[in-house]
Structure 1
Amino acid sequence: MRRVYLYPIGMISLFLLAACVLPGAERAGQTTGAGDYAAFCAGCHGPGGKGDGEMAAGLPQRPADLTQLAARNGGTFPTTRVMAQIWGYTGGRDGGRVMPQFSALLDGALVPYDGGDGIMTPTPIRLVELAEHLKTLQN
C-alpha cells in the first residue's frame, strides 16, 4: 500500500525537477553569453565580432576583430586573457583603456571555471558565458 502512494509523489517530483533543468526552460530575466554580447559588445565589435559595430567609426582605436583571437594565439582560444580584458584587469598601454569595464557581468553567482590554465577559479557566470560565446565566433 505504501508503494502506491510513493510512486505518484516520486513522479511529480521528477517532473518538477526536470522542468528546472530542461533545455529551453528559461527563467525570466535569465542572461546568456550571446545576449550579453549583443547588449555590451556588438555596438563596437559588431554582431559577428569583426570590429565593425555601429559605434566603431567614432572610436579613437578600432575595436579588436574577435573572430581572430584563437588564430592569433596559435589556434588556442586565450580564455584567461580574454576574460581579464573584459573584467578590466588589463589596462592597456600606460593604464589607458579603450574598452569600458562591464560591472554588470561581474555581479551575481560565481562558478568554478578553468580558463585553460588548469586552475579552477571562482568566476562570475556571466563572464564565463560571454567567453564561451566568443569561442563560437572564432574563424
Structure 2
Amino acid sequence: MKSAMKGGIWAMSAAGLLGLGACMEAAMPEAADGRALFMDYCAACHGPTAVGNGELAADLGIKPADLTHIAARRGGDFPRAEVLSMIDGYARSDMTGPGMPEFGELLKGDEVPLDTGDGILTPTPRKMVALLEYLESIQQAK
C-alpha cells in the first residue's frame, strides 16, 4: 500500500511539474511584446526600425547605435547578457555625455527565468526579457 501511495504521489508531483513547466513556457515574453516596449522606450532615439535614426537622434550629439546588427558586429552571436546590461544601465556606468537614459520602469514587475547563454536560469524582469527577445528577433547579417 505504501509503495502504491508513493508511486501515486510521485506521478502527481511529476504531472504538476510538467504543468508548471508548460505554464512557464506559455508565459514567457515574446518578440511582439518587446516591440511595443521598444516603440515606447527606444524608438525616439534608435528609430522605429532600430537603425539609429530616431526623431531625437540628431539632438543627442552621439549617433544612437544601429540595434539591427548587434550580432553581426560580434561574429553572429547575440550577446544576451551584454545587451541586458546596456538596457538596465549596468554597462553604461562609465559613459560620459548624453548616453542612454536609465529605464527603471523596465525593471519593475514580475520576473521570468532567463538563460543569457551560460546555462543558468536567472530571474529577470519580464519587460527586460521581452525587449531582449525583440532585439534578438530583428538582427540582420551585415
2:88 equivalent in structure 1: 87
Q: CA deviation at 1:95?
A: 4.3
How many angstroms apart in 2 are the aligned matches of 1:91 and 1:85? 6
1:51 equivalent in structure 2: 52
How many angstroms apart in 1 are the aligned matches of 2:118 and 2:53? 31
Q: CA deviation at 1:112?
A: 1.0
For the residue of structure 2 that corresponds to 1:117, the secondary structure is: coil
Matched residues, percent identical? 48
Alignment length (residue pairs): 109
Q: Which has the higher helix share?
A: 2
How many angstroms apart in 2 are the aligned matches of 1:115 and 1:128? 10
How many angstroms apart in 2 are the aligned matches of 1:95 and 1:59? 14
How many angstroms apart in 1 are the aligned matches of 2:131 and 2:39? 10
How high is the TM-score relative to the length of structure 2? 0.72
How high is the TM-score relative to the length of structure 1? 0.73
- Unpaired runs of at least 5, structure 1: 1-20, 22-30
Q: CA deviation at 1:32?
A: 2.0
Q: Which runs of 4+ in 1 moved over 4 A?
A: none
Q: How does 1:61-76 map to 2 (within 5 A)?
A: 61-76=62-77
Q: CA deviation at 1:134?
A: 0.5
**RMSD value over aligned CA atoms?**
1.7
2:43 equivalent in structure 1: 42
One-letter amino acid matched to 1:130 = L
Give the conservation status (yes or no) of the 8 Å contact 1:80–1:117: no
Question: Could you tell which deviates more after superposition, 45-54 or 115-124?
Answer: 115-124
For the residue of structure 1 that corresponds to 2:63, the secondary structure is: coil
1:98 equivalent in structure 2: 99
Distance 1:95 1:44, change over 3 A: closer
1:127 equivalent in structure 2: 128
